[in-house]
Structure 1
């Protein structure tokens, strides 16, 4: 009987020895009898990887483990001092709970509603269409009264140089000193009346009648036309467009949740 009990004890001891490495493998450390689980370490490393802050290295892993053990030490001390029962702690925990929930909600929405390359292409084509496929280099002379503009047009027809008249008579401080030169721009950069008149001109021509806009009366001369160079190729801006579409989808989702909520609170933009 005694021999049998010794054999049983030896078997139990052997089992414990074999099991010990498996138990330790599930924990980073034991702090005052409480385990710091490896799953906590794995979760922290996953968060670091998502943020892309730094590459995974043995040195980084060692630092993370050290921080997790320190956190456990400090948390245990806080528990011992009854801090977890304080009102301040409970309020902070509620804010933290909400923050994690909201962050996870938005991350889940973005994961399930990703913007596609096709959507980015559609947005790119829309921007390109609005900007136009051509750029125009024009000059103009801006005056306050129609009679002034007509008198200047008469001088131009008589052989006066456009840039010299612009320097003398134009009220546009941004271009007058440069002889009315507006540099290269898409038609969409100008007010509609200006764009409509400019795009009808042939290279070297100027408007035969004053063009009225909210700024006054314009005389416009078209210097040159070229393919629009202000819009980069799609591949260069694809990622930015996808990111922007993701942000717009998320903003719409947030607005929809806000609109559906039943609350007596009045938001500032309502």
Structure 2
């Protein structure tokens, strides 16, 4: 039997989550475990195929795409073990598909609705790709943005962690557990609603001039930047930081402080280009949408 270790399982989950949905992942993993490690027959495979399931080819292209997603999302290195695990899951998925088709699941309303949604999404994405034309980002814009960012940097930078909770009661619970000796990263994984929760609340290095000013905090909410700048290394906010009148609330920890390290323009320009290009695409999409709306009849 082919058994998957924990790191391979995590990578496989990342590779298939966009295809099968997270609720199916345990089934795929168990199905892969149940498959034989080697084919029962040694017949030669068709060109471009890595397996054949009841006459249906599973292609090298499919496997390469699954590997690409696993490497990108799970940070799992490409390896023969990963490829074997993903191949087994592709085989399991094809077995599920064939039997579902034979059982008439293709005609179920839920499936038809999902097919229509997938078709609409694909049509929309391709249409926008062909018709939304953002302005190119110039070298002068890159340098201007680089200079703007550098001008906002302070003398030191912080390596923070954050726990974001929806209400004051939860914030009080988290603070009490921190005072009792619970680890910040474990509480972040348990309670935080921020995207950084799975990483134990860890955020990237950040620098800003102090005292912190609105719009000059590298994207951080001003109350968070103000609280962060007052903490020593290892320090945790004694009270939750309110991010709005009725929440959410943030609890901060500073893991490290160091002199600000300013990357050279050549090191930073590609990242800046991606950010500016994304903004240009948003602007072009908004303008394109407004143009379509002018000639449409829309009732709300």
What's the TM-score once normalised by structure 1's chain length?
0.44
Q: Which has the larger radius of gyration?
A: 1
Q: Which one has the bigger helix percentage?
A: 1
What's the TM-score once normalised by structure 2's chain length?
0.41
